[in-house]
Structure 1
């Protein structure tokens, strides 16, 4: 396995030194903080990620205050209680983003979140308890339980929510290949398991969170 120290050194050199690198790195929320975040905030972040997919983030973020009003501040019980007529009306609301499937996904995901809340007490507790060394399994769990959280949307939601995860962006995949750490398909379940093991090894070596490891990989190449 490629030593992560070499990858990190390359990132430092490309960005102009260790301080420059550190200033670019994000920091995940600790489990105790994740457990304290309200379910409504998780539903809001999840839905914002879904609407961001394929659209300019700035556009979605500018409309988000209107979404908060339209969806009762994303209270899961209130959103789950919306009927089809409510959703059809919202899908034509010019203050929102008129994407019918994504509008309906908000209710679907509120219902799915309620099931987790009923079983674990809160969505945040469920998220906080999931071990980072099995984070790809959480990606697949999100894809199975929720609507429109497949592909990169699940990991992107986790990153937005503060849960530690790596992300398989084009730059990260390219860097793994360039450093001869992993070459091949990166979207299958078996590939995810292999890449998880790779990241776990790099985490043990560097003592960095997964999110920083994937950032450093992206910064390490031209």
Structure 2
């Protein structure tokens, strides 16, 4: 099956959202590489932790409690957190100010170690993320899954998107489109599906000159339940 041209996807999204202006107003841009490099380690750790806790829980519930997370976990300052003993982590996991979930709380020291270890090959974790090429963005997903904790599936990709890294997302709408058009035909988290999706997005990026993030959003707006009222 021939891959659909991006201009056709855009036209469909434009029609569904009430015109070009309305569609473009919905689309947000990723950060520049220079801006990504300015993100500090504590913000990466906070971003990953927020997405871990939002998995399987209402995002709004996590957002409402997030100031408490920042307080309980020292603003996610890695040097301070790495000084905690296992007993102290267990105690923090029982703090009623946060969502009490020991397994998810224990991702914090694990992902702190991942962020810190990136300094061995790069100037910083932010530098590594900024320099990671878009044509192999799913390999960055794999890196987070392999070296981090509970950052597989869509969690790592959503965290990257939230932090401003240019990446597409295999949301339900995007995944459905890719399946209907025959681009992917295996499990969403399989290497085969991710490579096929990355290849398709690279082609659309060459056609349009847009970021992976923009293309992902436009595909979502072109199908599924994303209709203009």
| TM-score past 0.5 threshold | yes
Moved over 4 A (4+): none
Q: Which consecutive residues of structure 2, in runs of 5 or more, have no partner in the other structure?
A: 225-229
Q: 1:38 aligns with which of 36, 40, 43?
A: 40
Deviations 1:135-193 (A, max 9, x none): 00000000000000011101011011100000111110112234x25141232102211
Aligned: 1:184 with 2:182: no
Whole-Å separation in 2 of the counterparts to 1:171 and 1:87: 38
User: Following TM superposition, by how much is the alpha carbon of 1:107 offset from its aligned partner in structure 2, in angstroms?
Assistant: 1.0
Whether the aligned pair in 2 keeps the contact of 1:176 and 1:217 (CA below 8 Å) is no
Whole-Å separation in 2 of the counterparts to 1:84 and 1:187: 31
Q: Which consecutive residues of structure 1, in runs of 5 or more, have no partner in the other structure?
A: none
- Greater fraction of residues in helix: 1
Change (3 A) 1:78 1:212: same
Whether the aligned pair in 2 keeps the contact of 1:77 and 1:114 (CA below 8 Å) is no
What SS class does the counterpart of residue 120 from structure 1 fall into? coil
What SS class does the counterpart of residue 150 from structure 2 fall into? coil
Whether the aligned pair in 1 keeps the contact of 2:13 and 2:219 (CA below 8 Å) is yes
Task: Name the residue aligned to 1:68.
Answer: 70
TM-score norm. by structure 1 comes to 0.96
User: Following TM superposition, by how much is the alpha carbon of 1:84 offset from its aligned partner in structure 2, in angstroms?
Assistant: 0.7
Whole-Å separation in 2 of the counterparts to 1:77 and 1:111: 10
TM-score norm. by structure 2 comes to 0.93
**Aligned pairs, how many?**
221
Aligned: 1:57 with 2:55: no
User: Following TM superposition, by how much is the alpha carbon of 1:121 offset from its aligned partner in structure 2, in angstroms?
Assistant: 2.1
Aligned: 1:221 with 2:223: yes
Compute the RMSD of aligned alpha carbons: 1.2
Whole-Å separation in 2 of the counterparts to 1:181 and 1:217: 15
Task: Name the residue aligned to 2:99.
Answer: 97
Task: Name the residue aligned to 2:150.
Answer: 148
Whole-Å separation in 1 of the counterparts to 2:61 and 2:223: 30
Q: What does 1:20-39 align with in structure 2 at a 5 Å threshold?
A: 20-39=22-41
Whole-Å separation in 1 of the counterparts to 2:103 and 2:60: 21
User: Following TM superposition, by how much is the alpha carbon of 1:66 offset from its aligned partner in structure 2, in angstroms?
Assistant: 1.2
Q: What does 1:94-173 align with in structure 2 at a 5 Å threshold?
A: 94-173=96-175
